[in-house]
Structure 1
Amino acid sequence: MNTSHLAGPVLIIGTGLLGTSVGLGLRAKGVNVYLDDISPTALGVAQDIGAGSALDEHTPIAPELVVIGAPPDVTANLVAQALLSYPNAVVVDIASVKGSILQALAADARLDASALARYVGTHPMAGREKSGPAAARGALFTSMPWVICAHSESSARAVKTAEALAIDLGAVMHRMGVTEHDEAVALISHFPQAASSMIASRLLSADAHQLGLAGNGLRDTTRIAASDEKLWIQIFSHNSKALIPILTGMKEDLDRLIATLENPAEPGALLDLSQLMTEGNAGQARIPGKHGAPPQAFAQITVVVDDKPGQIAGLLADIGEAGINLEDLRMEHSAGHQVGLVDVSVVPGRREELIDVLTHKGWKVVQ
């Protein structure tokens, strides 16, 4: 049964991680999806996993919506081509930068006002470290932010269609102007990627025995450094105007830290270090908590589990049986031992109860 807000068909141009995930999500809603990609391999994989049917040039279609899922450097041209090729279709892109794309479209002599009225820039704030259609998931966008960046000439129909796409994929809609969006993602997405990549680059000269001591702190801060470097080169260059002030601010903080550490015995040095750490604590505390709610400090306990099949499943089952909601879970392996350390977060009022339940069931709880 079709429960979609979109009537279809939908044409997806670009069958990478995001484009293929859009196809899988819409197909699950019963929407008729066609796929197109310059890479026959990527197109074939996306079709094989059920994201849609490959576009047949001998079978003309009249799509309700065209989704451009391409890298930023070719997005504007593909949007323009889609607007010209499908004169009745709404066209959206899902690139992570919006200003440079809209600027290029506005300067394209092939596009008149009526064509531009059918375009809406969007940005699903979802992804994985893995890329390509094989990494796609139909539920990738579920409960994730999806930004709608309608420009001043976007028609009401185009905006409604773009919003219907986000709704069908289970995303949480946000409406922003193009400049506001680019400044926001520079801070909360592009800057962390740059910082993570720079931290990870310092590991290239590290000795193996040093890396053998690594824990979750290093893994957490370098996780996104494994992202697709080709894509990020384009993102950085397309959003450089918004990213440079943030990086400049970080450089000033680094200069301040280095100057302090060069003379740690100087009066006020320890106070300055404390202030820097306190500012970091305060900034981290501003990140929204679960489901986008205000930040909340959860209580945490650590459970020691054996490194063998079924242990995590058993732990989660015991927590669920006790009727205690798990707010977060992280696992770290103990160096040199065949055990794992599972950090379990719950609301503070249930912490002692959870300790009693797990201890009674034979789990080793580290308080």
Structure 2
Amino acid sequence: MRTAVVVGTGLIGTSAGLALAERGLTVHLEDADPDAARTASSLGAGTTEPADGPVDLAIIAVPPALVGKVLADCQRRNLARWYTDVASVKAGPRSEVVALGCDTTRYIGSHPMAGRERSGPLAARADLFEGRPWVLTPTADTDTETLNAALELVALCGAMPIVMDAAEHDRAVALVSHAPQLVSSLVAARLEHADETAIRLSGQGVRDVTRIAASNPGMWVDILSANAGAVADVLQEVAADLGETVTALRALEAAQEGERRAGAAGIEAVMRRGNTGQSRIPGKHGSPPTRYETVAVVLGDQPGELGRLFGEVGAVGVNIEDVAIEHSTGQQVGFVQLSVAPGAVGPLTAALRSGGWSVRD
């Protein structure tokens, strides 16, 4: 693959353009909003000049409801040899593609499982897809060369290909992406009119849960409209669990000891189910989940402090598996939580303390 066109220069489209351009491909950019395409081009994602003839691959990065219409237009213009879309819902767009009479031998649906709470070309990153799953949804009439082109795209972007049925994909993303987005927004909505004193108590827990609540509502309406039934099914199950949890919490306030024990058992049961579910989330590079331990370091609010800390951790020979920064409200310090292998906790803690760092027990 040497040439590509990206149709739609939002976060995903621009990130794909950046990744391909970095690997030497000639990338052409199109967008209904010319300013967005020019912004993506200024970032290095490609050129807004049209291609002289058909490119190797067209990447359609538009909302799910527009995929069929845009694909039909691209094929009418003979824009590329092969086509894929990167919308986060697959079954609906696939049905529309068929209904519009598009050439389905040269088209394959796909979905990179990557994103950010920010949208638009300015949020794009060339490494957005690295190490992330990228779902491909071929059908019986997908040509082998079309599949190979999509696989090459995934490889060029540093992602991991996963082949799934379109409907299976939509049920899966309802569970692991779409419903969590709404749950995050629901939790964050409780903060809208909360007392300022309560807000100032916010710690890493509420920050973690509500991070994706900063996402663009308009974009998510487009996504959820295309997968509403599957998301509603997941949230209905969540609602049932919430109802049982509320009942258990009320029981903890009861006068009868038997009711309180039943309430405690109910809370413990749902939390243990959560432990089990969370433990199934894959670890780094899709490997089985690994238990890490946390080393919490007090970090001053001076330029270069974080880099200096990472440098000293590297000098000890410890690999940081994950990192989180918790800010201290009203104070010029924060806490960096370094996730490391259990066996590294002792040596790392001792080395950092000897180097003058304050490590919390």
Does the pair score TM above 0.5?
Answer: yes
Q: Contact (CA 8 Å) 1:63, 1:86: kept in 2 or not? A: no
User: Per-residue deviation at 1:87?
Assistant: 7.2
Report the Cα distance in structure 1 between the residues aligned to 2:88 and 2:220, rounded to whole angstroms: 10
Q: Secondary structure at the match of 1:203?
A: coil
Aligned to 1:204: 192
Aligned to 2:140: 152
- The answer to which of 33-42 and 128-137 deviates more is 128-137
- Taking a change above 3 Å as real, the CA distance of residues 88 and 47 of structure 1, as seen in their structure-2 partners, is closer
- Taking a change above 3 Å as real, the CA distance of residues 61 and 366 of structure 1, as seen in their structure-2 partners, is same
Q: Contact (CA 8 Å) 2:58, 2:80: kept in 1 or not? A: no
What are the equivalent positions in structure 2 for 1:308-319 lying under 5 Å apart? 308-319=302-313
Aligned to 2:279: 285
Aligned to 1:15: 9
Structure 2 residue identity aligned to 1:301: V
Structure 2 residue identity aligned to 1:106: V
The answer on 1:239 being equivalent to 2:235 is no
What are the equivalent positions in structure 2 for 1:28-39 lying under 5 Å apart? 28-39=22-33
Report the Cα distance in structure 2 between the residues aligned to 1:45 and 1:301, rounded to whole angstroms: 41
Report the Cα distance in structure 2 between the residues aligned to 1:116 and 1:182, rounded to whole angstroms: 20
Aligned to 1:91: 83
Q: Contact (CA 8 Å) 2:250, 2:263: kept in 1 or not? A: no
User: Per-residue deviation at 1:60?
Assistant: 4.0
User: Per-residue deviation at 1:88?
Assistant: 5.8
Aligned to 2:112: 124
Q: Secondary structure at the match of 2:329?
A: coil
Aligned to 1:71: 63
The answer on 1:184 being equivalent to 2:179 is no
* Equivalent of residue 47 in structure 1, options 30, 41, 46: 41
The answer on 1:346 being equivalent to 2:334 is no
Aligned to 1:216: 204
* Equivalent of residue 135 in structure 1, options 123, 131, 138: 123
Q: Contact (CA 8 Å) 2:108, 2:137: kept in 1 or not? A: yes
Report the Cα distance in structure 2 between the residues aligned to 1:169 and 1:163, rounded to whole angstroms: 10
Structure 2 residue identity aligned to 1:280: G
Structure 2 residue identity aligned to 1:13: V
Report the Cα distance in structure 1 between the residues aligned to 2:175 and 2:220, rounded to whole angstroms: 15
User: Per-residue deviation at 1:336?
Assistant: 3.5
Report the Cα distance in structure 2 between the residues aligned to 1:300 and 1:54, rounded to whole angstroms: 47
Report the Cα distance in structure 2 between the residues aligned to 1:306 and 1:184, rounded to whole angstroms: 42
Aligned to 2:288: 294
The TM-score normalised by the length of structure 1 is 0.94
Q: What do the CA deviations read for 1:167-221 (whole angstroms, capped 9, x no partner)?
A: 1111111111111111111111111101001111111111222111111111110
Report the Cα distance in structure 2 between the residues aligned to 1:294 and 1:119, rounded to whole angstroms: 33
Q: Contact (CA 8 Å) 1:17, 1:135: kept in 2 or not? A: yes
Report the Cα distance in structure 2 between the residues aligned to 1:55 and 1:178, rounded to whole angstroms: 34
Q: Contact (CA 8 Å) 2:40, 2:122: kept in 1 or not? A: yes
Q: Contact (CA 8 Å) 2:107, 2:146: kept in 1 or not? A: yes
Aligned residue-pair number? 355
Report the Cα distance in structure 2 between the residues aligned to 1:345 and 1:323, rounded to whole angstroms: 14
Structure 2 residue identity aligned to 1:321: A
Aligned to 1:327: 321
Q: Contact (CA 8 Å) 2:53, 2:79: kept in 1 or not? A: no
User: Per-residue deviation at 1:276?
Assistant: 1.1
User: Per-residue deviation at 1:133?
Assistant: 1.0
Q: Secondary structure at the match of 2:139?
A: coil
- The answer to which of 314-323 and 258-267 deviates more is 258-267
The answer on 1:82 being equivalent to 2:74 is yes
Q: Which runs of 5+ in 2 are unaligned?
A: none
The TM-score normalised by the length of structure 2 is 0.95
Q: Contact (CA 8 Å) 2:104, 2:142: kept in 1 or not? A: yes
Structure 1 residue identity aligned to 2:316: A
Q: Secondary structure at the match of 1:251?
A: helix
User: Per-residue deviation at 1:7?
Assistant: 2.6
Report the Cα distance in structure 1 between the residues aligned to 2:30 and 2:330, rounded to whole angstroms: 49
Report the Cα distance in structure 2 between the residues aligned to 1:23 and 1:275, rounded to whole angstroms: 47
Aligned to 1:3: none
Q: Secondary structure at the match of 2:108?
A: strand
Q: Secondary structure at the match of 1:61?
A: coil
Report the Cα distance in structure 2 between the residues aligned to 1:360 and 1:245, rounded to whole angstroms: 54
Q: Secondary structure at the match of 2:36?
A: helix
What RMSD in Å do the two structures reach over aligned CA positions?
1.4
Aligned to 1:337: 331
Identity of aligned residues (%): 39
* Equivalent of residue 363 in structure 1, options 341, 357, 361: 357
Q: Contact (CA 8 Å) 1:303, 1:343: kept in 2 or not? A: yes
Q: Contact (CA 8 Å) 1:83, 1:89: kept in 2 or not? A: no
Report the Cα distance in structure 2 between the residues aligned to 1:167 and 1:78, rounded to whole angstroms: 25
The answer on 1:226 being equivalent to 2:214 is yes
- Taking a change above 3 Å as real, the CA distance of residues 340 and 353 of structure 1, as seen in their structure-2 partners, is same
